Amino acid sequence: MQELEDTPVKISFFKSDFSWREIADAARTTIRMQEGKKEPSSSWKRKILLSEHSPIRLMLFKWKWVNLRYWVSVHFVRHKIGIEHFVSTQRTDRTGLDREEAYQGAPVHHQCSANAQSIIFISRKRLCTQASPETRAAWQMVLNEIKNCEPELYDLCVPECIYRGFCPEFKPCGYSDTEKFKVALKKYRG
Mean pLDDT of 85-94: 92
User: In angstroms, rounded to a whole number, what is the distance separating the alpha carbons of residues 67 and 146?
Assistant: 20
Taking each helix axis from N to C end, the angle separating 133-149 and 116-126, rounded to the nearest 10 degrees, works out to 150
How many DSSP H helices and E strands does the chain contain?
10, 4
How much is the pLDDT for 3?
42
In the predicted model, what is the mean pLDDT of residues 22-31? 96
Domains for the chain: give ranges and CATH numbers.
Answer: 2-18+59-157 (3.30.70.3180), 160-190 (no CATH)
Q: What is the mean pLDDT of the chain?
A: 94
For residues 114-126, average pLDDT = 98
Work out the average pLDDT over 87-109. Answer: 88
In this prediction, residues 37-59 reach a mean pLDDT of 96
> pLDDT of 131-181, one tens digit each?
999 999 999 999 999 999 999 999 999 999 999 999 999 999 999 999 999
